[in-house]
């Protein structure tokens, strides 16, 4: 049998990472395309990462260049399975002690909407695009991300297909809502070997009774946000919304917190904030029921809108009657706040790094090409961590700025200032920065914007589970 022809080597540490996928590509052109595509995604972002940008060609006049056409064929026509490539990426994450998931992590479900013109692109439709805070023409992808206080990475991604693409609309057997996709991805993550303390999601998912029930039926714990004014039936004088339930809790100030308990949130930049959390009662939800309502806020007296969370969870209260029979370890108020705090962090940071890697810059129309592009972006994302842990760079000053607060729960995310996460130093090639430099700088920004781990308490980690080894202070910027 004729041996495989050698593939042109990718720059730096990228070659070692790409070589682990070689058996999934049957042809030399595919192995070369995989390397070239990742290298283009990891290059400094001086313009949108379209195929011409990935190949280093001129934006319009270079569209017919051989290198551009080669990437176009690799993405749209070549025969390779993006699901197998993603499965291999997850296997590598699971096998590496530095990135392997543990029971203290969180699985975050979210959806990412990106503007796209026209009507012929797969999955495109006039729909809500959370990052822009409005309804517009675009493509929405439901994603799961595994995260803890040290790192985070994508697990699965599935584009949502609006009902107009189906012959029978929402009645078509092939149509699936974003909620159904999200619940399925959570189960797939667990079945793939990803352990986590709970599933976390914002109020777009947490407000849906059916979605929470689907997770509970699958045996998955969850901590999800609720809208403050989400209505619930109750007798006249009783609380009807989460904010009503929180206002009924006793509060006499920091010296007399009443029903509220102080919770310290510590961040990577060194500052700490004291929040207050409490179990509230809303209809059938309560501290001892199958669903707990937890309010967490910076000021129980005023419940400021941008500094107050209303959370629903199926994790039992420590010492409560449900603790013994629950399949999930009990979680105190500090643990509930920690879990949702991780989701709140990556809401901004994760999307910004995806943007830098060109998540929304694809210019292809078919479903398979879109899925392949997203899989390759996730591979580039995971390579950043692979390169970081293989040879972490010294800390750089000044540190990248922390993400600014968003406009509300699912409002528009503010992009990073150009240049804040670009590779430092002179590129070794006029059109391609070295992927090793690019990966190190990207991950430095991700790590420095992470929330710091608080001092573990009895409800921070499940009993009997070994604590993950902390990163060196030079990597976490945490003393």
pLDDT tens, position by position, 316-339: 999 999 999 999 999 999 999 999
Q: Which of 97-111, 133-147, 312-326, 419-433 has the lowest mean pLDDT?
A: 419-433
**Which pLDDT does position 472 carry in this prediction?**
38
Tell me what pLDDT residue 294 has. Answer: 96
pLDDT confidence of residue 194: 97
Q: pTM of the predicted model, to two decimals?
A: 0.83
pLDDT: is 109 or 233 the higher one?
109
Please tell me the least confidently modeled range out of 119-133, 191-205, 453-467: 453-467
Predicted confidence at residue 60, as pLDDT, reads 80
Instruction: Tell me the mean pLDDT in the region 236-254.
Output: 85
Residue 269's pLDDT is what? 66
CB 139 within 8 A of CB 121: yes
pLDDT band at 270 (very low <50, low <70, confident <90, very high): low
**Percentage of residues in the chain with pLDDT exceeding 90?**
51
What's the pLDDT score for residue 417?
Answer: 36
479 or 84, which is more confident: 84
pLDDT for 239 equals 64
Report the pLDDT value the prediction gives residue 446, as an integer from 0 to 100: 57
Asked if pLDDT for residue 245 goes beyond 70, the answer is: yes
Query: Which residue, chain included where needed, has tokens 């979605």?
Result: 211
- Give the lowest-confidence range in 13-27, 146-160, 400-414: 400-414
pLDDT at 129 over 60: yes
Range in 6-10, 266-270, 403-407 the model is least confident about: 403-407
Q: What is the mean pLDDT of the chain?
A: 81
Q: How confident is the model at residue 477 (pLDDT cuts 50, 70, 90)?
A: very low
Query: Which pLDDT value is given to residue 94?
Result: 97
Q: What is the pLDDT of residue 21?
A: 97
Give mean pLDDT, residues 224-234.
78
Most confident stretch, 195-199, 409-413, 474-478:
195-199
Q: Kindly report, residue by residue over 409-443, the tens digit of the pLDDT.
A: 444 433 333 333 333 333 333 333 455 565 666 65
pLDDT value of position 265: 87
pLDDT at 61 over 70: yes
What gap in Å lies between CA 479 and CA 473, rounded to an integer? 6
What mean pLDDT do residues 139-168 have? 92
């Amino acid at each position: 049998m004729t041996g495989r022809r050698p593939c042109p080597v990718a720059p730096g540490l990228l070659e070692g990472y790409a070589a682990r996928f070689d058996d999934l590509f049957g042809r030399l052109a595919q192995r070369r395309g995989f390397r070239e595509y990742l290298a283009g995604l990891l290059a400094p972002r001086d313009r949108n990462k379209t195929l011409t940008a990935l190949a280093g060609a001129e934006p319009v006049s270079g569209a017919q260049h051989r290198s551009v056409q080669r990437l176009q064929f690799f993405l749209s026509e070549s025969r390779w399975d993006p699901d197998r490539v993603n499965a291999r990426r997850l296997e590598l994450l699971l096998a590496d002690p530095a990135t392997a998931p543990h029971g203290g992590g969180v699985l975050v479900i979210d959806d990412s909407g990106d503007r796209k013109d026209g009507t012929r692109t797969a999955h495109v439709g006039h729909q809500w695009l959370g990052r822009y805070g409005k309804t517009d023409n675009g493509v929405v992808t439901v994603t799961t991300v595994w995260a803890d206080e040290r790192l985070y990475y994508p697990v699965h991604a599935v584009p949502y297909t609006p009902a107009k693409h189906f012959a029978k609309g929402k009645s078509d057997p092939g149509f699936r809502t974003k909620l159904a996709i999200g619940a399925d991805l959570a189960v797939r993550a667990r079945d793939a070997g990803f352990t986590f303390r709970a599933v976390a999601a914002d109020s777009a998912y947490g407000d849906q009774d059916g979605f929470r029930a689907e997770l509970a039926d699958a045996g998955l714990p969850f901590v999800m946000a609720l809208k403050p004014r989400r209505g619930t039936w109750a007798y006249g004088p009783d609380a009807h919304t989460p904010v009503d339930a929180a206002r009924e809790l006793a509060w006499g100030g920091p010296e007399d917190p009443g029903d509220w308990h102080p919770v310290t949130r510590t961040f990577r930049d060194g500052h700490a904030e004291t929040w207050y959390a409490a179990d509230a009662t809303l209809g059938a939800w309560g501290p001892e029921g199958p669903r707990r309502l937890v309010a967490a806020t910076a000021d129980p007296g005023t419940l400021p809108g941008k500094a107050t969370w209303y959370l629903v969870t199926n994790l039992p209260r420590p010492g409560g009657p449900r603790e013994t029979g629950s399949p999930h370890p009990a979680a105190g108020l500090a643990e509930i706040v920690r879990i949702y705090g991780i989701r709140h962090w990556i809401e901004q940071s994760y999307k910004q790094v995806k943007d830098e890697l060109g998540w929304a810059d694809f210019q292809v129309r078919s479903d398979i090409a879109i899925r392949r592009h997203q899989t390759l972006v996730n591979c580039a994302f995971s390579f950043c961590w692979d390169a970081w842990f293989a040879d972490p760079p010294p800390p750089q000053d000044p540190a990248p700025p922390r993400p600014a607060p968003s406009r509300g729960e699912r409002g528009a995310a503010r992009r990073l200032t150009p240049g804040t996460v670009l590779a430092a130093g002179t590129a070794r090639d006029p059109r391609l920065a070295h992927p090793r430099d690019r990966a190190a700088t990207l991950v430095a920004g991700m790590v420095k914007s992470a929330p710091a781990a608080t001092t573990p308490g009895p409800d921070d980690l499940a009993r009997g589970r070994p604590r993950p080894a902390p990163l060196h202070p030079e990597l976490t910027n945490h003393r």
